[in-house]
């Protein structure tokens, strides 16, 4: 029952985010790409699950994000390196804190002739709090769109892995 609820939550999160994913075409069948993608993502703490009613669509979630070379990515590093800049104005009397980040990965494999078109998009979310001195002012769920840098890093690493087979 918990699995179904968690999966339903992942699907609802995926419906909220419709940004343009990073794409790459692999000169291989999608079954070969899928066979390489699952262990690649799993080694980076993302377990991909098939999306119902969508052939070749997978979704996974992690609170322990790793980059393409499997180095742990902190929330702060992700905010600076892998997300679009914030539109929030800096306020010198407000202190900002955030919780650990949850990352949802959307992977789509689509057969195009003799090759496989792969689309990848990460959605980042966390809880952020603003404090004036020590008094909490605001605590809301927050998210920012991906700048697609990590997605391109993952696809490049997968390309190396597939071509060296």
Is 91 contained in some domain?
no
pLDDT at 96: 61
Q: How many domains does the chain have?
A: 1
The pLDDT of residue 92 is above 80: no
- Residue 136: strand pairing partners: 131
29 located within any domain = yes
* 152 is a domain residue: yes
The answer to whether position 136 is within a domain reads: no
Q: Does the residue 89 lie in any domain?
A: no
* Residue 131, domain member (yes or no): no
Q: Is residue 93 part of a domain?
A: no
The stretch 104-124 carries a mean pLDDT of 96
Residue 30: pLDDT band by 50, 70, 90 thresholds? very high
pLDDT at residue 23, as a whole number: 97
Q: How confident is the model at residue 151 (pLDDT cuts 50, 70, 90)?
A: very high
What range does the domain containing 49 cover?
2-82+102-124+145-163
Buried b (16+ CB within 10 A) or exposed e, 31-43: eebbebbbebbee
Residue range 124-130: average pLDDT? 78
CATH of the domain at 24: 3.30.530
Tens of pLDDT, residues 42-86: 999 999 999 999 999 999 999 999 999 999 998 889 988 999 986
Average pLDDT over every residue of 129-150: 75
**pLDDT per position as a tens digit, 2-21:** 544 444 444 444 444 457 99
């Amino acid at each position: 029952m918990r699995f179904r609820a968690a999966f339903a939550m992942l699907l609802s999160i995926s419906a909220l985010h419709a940004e343009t994913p990073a794409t790459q075409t692999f000169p291989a069948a999608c079954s070969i790409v899928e066979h390489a993608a699952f262990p690649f993502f799993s080694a980076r703490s993302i377990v991909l699950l098939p999306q119902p009613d969508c052939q070749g669509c997978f979704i996974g979630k992690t609170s322990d994000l790793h980059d393409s070379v499997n180095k742990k990515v902190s929330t702060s590093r992700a905010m600076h390196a892998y997300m679009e800049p914030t539109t929030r104005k800096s306020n010198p009397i407000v202190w900002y804190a955030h919780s650990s980040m949850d990352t949802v990965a959307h992977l789509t494999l689509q057969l195009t002739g003799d090759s496989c078109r792969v689309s990848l998009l990460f959605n980042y979310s966390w809880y952020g709090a603003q404090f004036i001195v020590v008094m909490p002012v605001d605590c809301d769920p927050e998210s920012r769109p991906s700048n697609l840098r990590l997605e391109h890093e993952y696809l490049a690493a997968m390309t190396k892995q597939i071509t060296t087979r």
